[in-house]
Amino acid sequence: MKSPSNIMRQSSLTKLGSMINTAVNKRVGNGDIQWCFSQVKGTLEDDVTEADIISCVEFNHDGDLLATGDKGGRVVIFQRDPVSKNSIPRRGEYNVYSTFQSHEPEFDYLKSLEIEEKINKIRWLKRKNPAHFLLSTNDKTIKLWKVSERDKRVEGYNTKEENGTIRDPACITSLRVPTIKPMELMVEASPRRIFANAHTYHINSISVNSDQETYLSADDLRINLWHLEITDQSFNIVDIKPTNMEELTEVITAAEFHPAECNVLVYSSSKGTIRLCDMRSAALCDQHSKLFEEPEDPTNRSFFSEIISSISDVKLSNSGRYMISRDYLSVKVWDLQMETKPIECYPVHEYLRSKLCSLYENDCIFDKFECCWSGNDSAIMTGSYNNFFRVFDRTTKRDLTLEAARDIAKPKTLLKPRKVCTGGKRKKDEISVDCLDFNKKILHTAWHPSENVVAVAATNNLFLFQDKL
């Protein structure tokens, strides 16, 4: 039997897992959503290497770029196709824009510990000039990348040849004016800052502040505040590490800044709580301003209650009024003005409650599913097993289960909503809970900031769906 402390640590440190498929959906008259396939990029082969598994997905602030990170330390940036963007109706099709190696595997000789190159999180900075900037992190090191375009070159230098070699000054007998000539577009990614050596434990979250000057990074026990221009110094703003590690009862699972108030941040824990901190009250935010926690239902109490109540992701709404939290079986919506209980609760895969024992044995119970808001905060999306993902409409209270599968990789193939049956006679198009593939899981999702375009990562494939008008 695993001890509670070991369960907590394993829950926090469990490794999670992915190139592109694109699909389109359309809304029908009764409010249900249907989906059809539009475009595919990447491979749909069975032989998938560990390095190709997608580990994070993130749109930039205007949705024109979409970045994915994988377990091999690579970042692939996709750019929205100009034709699809300007077509009527607009289509959500993306092409490869840039690919670069963000992190390499390392080895900590002092601790005899391997540091994986896997990209845990990517966060975009708001665009201030023609270049794009993004933060990427593995378990220990955060990097700030500049992604810029170059479509012109300078010719006719006086002091060097066209190949770059320096000319002998004695051979320079005349002066000439260099000229600028067009060239094939080149997209360059260069590291501008490297933020390292500030985390003892694995980094699970980074979040850019609304002031666009600072950002936070969180590991299992601490949250640090960084300035984007300062790489050798960070401020510890949350520290929950006990004096005696044997007394460890919870770990930090996710953290995020408020979208508008630069002094407010939230972080979730493996105990199922969310704490809101105000940096104006104290330099060290160990004393939270608000604590969001749902009272436990005694009728549902079991050996697994502590594990499945652990929050794997927390996201503040775009308006800043609400936040969503994802635990193992559900997604909850919280009002920042009400700490006592969530205002909405959506079961994601309640049919797995009877399978918790086997999910515990195969470690799936420690999987960390992410969740995301739609651009107008009216809908929520999160993933499940068997490459299922769920969409919840907060206005109509409708929900939809869809499968990101390879058999839709044909143009305009219509996707049917999937249903899972738990026992008895199985209806047509239903799948039995005993037939679900727990090796296929949707852990990472992202929603376009202003349109109904969503990205869903399934192993080494990324599916894009769009609301068809």
The residue with greater pLDDT, 342 or 32, is: 342
Question: What backbone phi and psi angles, to 5 degrees, belong to 354?
Answer: -80, -5
**pLDDT for residue 195 is more than 80:** yes
> How many C-beta atoms lie closer than 10 Å to residue 248's C-beta?
17
The per-residue pLDDT for range 423-436, each reduced to its tens digit, is 777 777 789 999 99
Note the Cα 132 to chain centre separation in Å. 18
The fold of the 33-166+174-465 domain, in CATH, is Methylamine Dehydrogenase; Chain H (2.130.10)
By C-alpha distance, which of 274, 250, 252 is closest to 264?
A: 274
For the cut 70, the answer to whether the pLDDT of residue 403 exceeds it is yes
pTM: 0.85
Residue 86 has pLDDT above 90, yes or no: no
461-468 and 20-27 strand pairing: parallel
CA distance 247 to 87: 59
Check whether 229 has a pLDDT greater than 90.
yes
Helix residue spans in 18-176 (DSSP H):
82-86
**Tokens 């000039």 found at:** 129
Backbone φ and ψ for 199, nearest 5 degrees, come out as -125, 130
Q: Residue 35: is its pLDDT beyond 70? A: no
For 254-285, the pLDDT digits (tens) are: 999 999 999 999 999 999 999 999 999 988 89
- Give the separation between CA 208 and CA 127, rounded to whole angstroms: 13
Q: Which of 66, 97, 44 is nearest to 453 (CA)?
A: 66
* Cα–Cα distance, 118 to 105 (Å, whole number): 8
CA 382 to centroid of chain Cα atoms? 11
Tell me how far apart the alpha carbons of residues 463 and 83 are, in angstroms, rounded to a whole number: 19
Tally Cβ neighbours within 10 Å of residue 433: 17
Neighbours of 239 (CB within 10 A): 13
Look up residue 58 and give its amino acid: E
